[in-house]
């Protein structure tokens, strides 16, 4: 993979915007949702006026900065609004000032949002809130030390410093994107939902979702054969394409990037899911490099032609072509995609639930070994760059220590993430090391690694329930 300096900086800017959107949206609704006369008053969750010992015991069970409200002479609801406003200010500054996008600021943003999530109750029990907490935690590793490196003389400019271990931290984003997409696709089939197995989910999705957009009306009235093909496209993008995230061929990773972006844009224009789609699009940046982003804005990079580079390009195109052919062939066979006499397409699932369960049991260990190998290679390459490409003894020492620490954290987070990810296959889940389960149980309340599965079962099949009223 090429350089990711611009990619990392663009991702951190995107996360600043998403944090700003999340805090601003929540702050606007706080009085009506969590105020003293709100739907779910926050004072009932954080009873600071009770017995001090009881309050301290509950604070250990529910860690949040709102317990500090009495120290500032504020009500709990006022303290909640203050934290939301502070999050808005900090994320706004990070949006407009690149130097403020360092690990310290992202750590504070995560603490603020986690404190609000802890007392958010029903209105914050959505997967995008959990996903933001996990991505936000990874941002602490992705973001540089900033001012600390400048103090040590390791960064001479006011721009964000870059380090060899950046690729290790960005790899964690790619692994999270893989878990998120793959799990979202698999649970649609393991849930045994008739709408998903019958390729009829999109027939009701656009009208049964929580907040459809005006565009959803037009999508709902598309031909049925096209909607069935849309379900097939969803399966391919969510289950098959994520394996291309870790391919050593750059063109395949960019192809997977286009697929994921297209799916998220389609969801974005047809439904309102808060910042969920923006967050997923930000994760997709882990699939591209600086060369792609610079070319996208018209600042193409120049490479000197060589026999070795030409050979690699030919091999990459050959592998990409073979991969596309295999993916197309598998899609046609597994979903029996055929042309009708009127040039429409018909499709149906050709495998049984038992066959899918057996295939999933064989595939899950492969995903773990694939992630392990990819992470190991990424850490070794970053370590090599720290030792042999960095100039100056102090810079070399700092980069090597940073790579070792970041690599250790990445291995630990990877192991912890296997616990929720392996729930897709019970047999694999039961074989995980006990120490890994202990690690996960200790950090589970902080949502450092969570399980995902959007639209597990399709709601709204058969129309919305109606209640008939008699004569008055």
Q: Provide the pLDDT confidence category of residue 440 given band limits of 50, 70 and 90.
A: very high
Residue 119's closest CA among 50, 56, 57, 40? Answer: 40
CA 108 from centroid of its chain's CA atoms: 20
Q: 148 and 235 share a domain?
A: no
pLDDT digits (tens, 9 = 90+) for 283-311: 999 999 999 999 888 776 656 667 777 88
Q: Is residue 124 part of a domain?
A: yes
Number of folded domains that form the chain: 2
Domain boundary among 108, 136, 162: 162
Domain final position from 162, 190, 217 = 162
Counts for the chain of helices (H) and strands (E), in that order? 19, 2
Per-residue confidence (pLDDT) for residue 472, from 0 to 100 = 41
- The whole domain housing 76 covers 1-162
Answer whether residue 194 is part of any domain. Answer: no
| pLDDT category of residue 157 using cuts at 50, 70 and 90 | very low
pLDDT in tens, 25-46: 999 999 999 998 999 999 988 8
Residues 141, 43 share a domain: yes
pTM: 0.93
pLDDT digits (tens, 9 = 90+) for 178-223: 999 999 999 999 999 999 999 999 999 999 888 899 999 999 999 9
Q: Tell me the chain's radius of gyration from C-alpha atoms.
A: 24
Examine the fold and report which residue of 348, 372, 407 is the final residue of a domain before the chain moves on: 348
* DSSP 8-state class, residue 345: E
305 within some domain: yes
For residue 191, give every residue at least 6 positions away whose Cβ sits within 8 Å of its Cβ, in sequence order, or none. Answer: 456, 457
**Co-location of 34 and 119 in the same domain:** yes
In a domain, 436, yes or no: no
- How far, in Å, are 89, 147, 159 from residue 98 at the CA level? 14, 12, 7
pLDDT tens sequence across 100-149: 999 999 999 999 999 999 999 989 988 999 999 999 999 999 999 865 55
- In angstroms, the CA 310 to CA 270 distance is 43
In whole angstroms, give the CA distance from residue 171 to residue 61.
32
H or E stretch including 218?
A: helix 214-220
Does any domain span residue 244? yes
């Amino acid at each position: 993979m090429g350089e990711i300096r611009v990619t990392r900086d663009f991702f951190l800017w995107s996360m600043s915007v998403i944090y700003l959107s999340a805090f601003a949206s929540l702050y606007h609704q706080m009085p009506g949702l969590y105020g003293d006369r709100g739907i779910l008053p926050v004072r009932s969750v954080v009873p600071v006026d009770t017995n001090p010992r009881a309050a301290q015991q509950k604070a250990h069970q529910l860690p949040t900065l709102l317990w500090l409200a009495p120290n500032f002479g504020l009500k709990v609801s006022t303290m909640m609004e203050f934290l939301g406003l502070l999050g808005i200010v900090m994320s706004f500054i990070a949006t407009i000032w690149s130097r403020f996008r360092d690990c310290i600021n992202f750590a504070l943003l995560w603490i603020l949002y986690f404190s609000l999530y802890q007392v958010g109750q029903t209105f914050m029990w959505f997967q995008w809130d959990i996903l933001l907490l996990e991505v936000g935690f990874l941002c602490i590793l992705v973001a540089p030390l900033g001012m600390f490196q400048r103090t040590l003389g390791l960064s001479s400019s006011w721009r964000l410093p870059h380090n060899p271990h950046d690729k290790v931290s960005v790899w964690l984003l790619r692994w999270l994107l893989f878990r998120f997409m793959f799990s979202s696709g698999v649970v649609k089939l393991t849930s045994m939902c008739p709408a998903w197995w019958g390729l009829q989910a999109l027939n009701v999705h656009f009208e049964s979702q929580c907040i459809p957009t005006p565009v959803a009306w037009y999508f709902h009235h598309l031909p049925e054969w096209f909607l069935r093909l849309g379900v097939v496209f969803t399966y391919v993008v969510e289950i098959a394409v994520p394996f291309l995230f870790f391919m050593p061929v750059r063109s395949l990773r960019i192809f997977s990037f286009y697929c994921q972006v297209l799916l998220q844009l389609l969801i974005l224009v047809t439904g309102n899911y808060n910042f969920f789609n923006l967050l997923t699009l930000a994760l997709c940046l882990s699939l591209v490099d600086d060369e792609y982003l610079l070319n996208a804005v018209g600042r193409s990079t120049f490479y000197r032609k060589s026999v070795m580079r030409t050979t690699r390009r030919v091999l990459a195109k050959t592998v990409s072509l073979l991969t596309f052919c295999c993916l197309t062939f598998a899609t046609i066979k597994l979903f029996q995609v055929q042309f009708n006499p009127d040039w429409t397409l018909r499709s149906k699932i050709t495998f049984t639930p038992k066959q899918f369960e057996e295939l999933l049991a064989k595939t899950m260990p492969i995903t773990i070994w694939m992630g392990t190998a990819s992470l190991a290679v990424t850490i070794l390459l970053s370590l090599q760059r720290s030792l042999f490409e960095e100039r100056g003894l102090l810079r070399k020492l700092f980069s090597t220590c940073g790579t070792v620490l970041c690599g250790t954290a990445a291995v630990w987070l990877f192991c912890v993430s296997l616990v929720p990810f392996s729930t897709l296959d019970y047999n694999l889940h039961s074989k995980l090391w006990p120490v890994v389960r202990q690690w996960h149980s200790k950090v589970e309340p902080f949502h450092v690694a969570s399980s995902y599965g959007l639209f597990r079962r399709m709601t709204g099949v058969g129309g919305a329930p109606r209640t008939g009223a008699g004569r008055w």
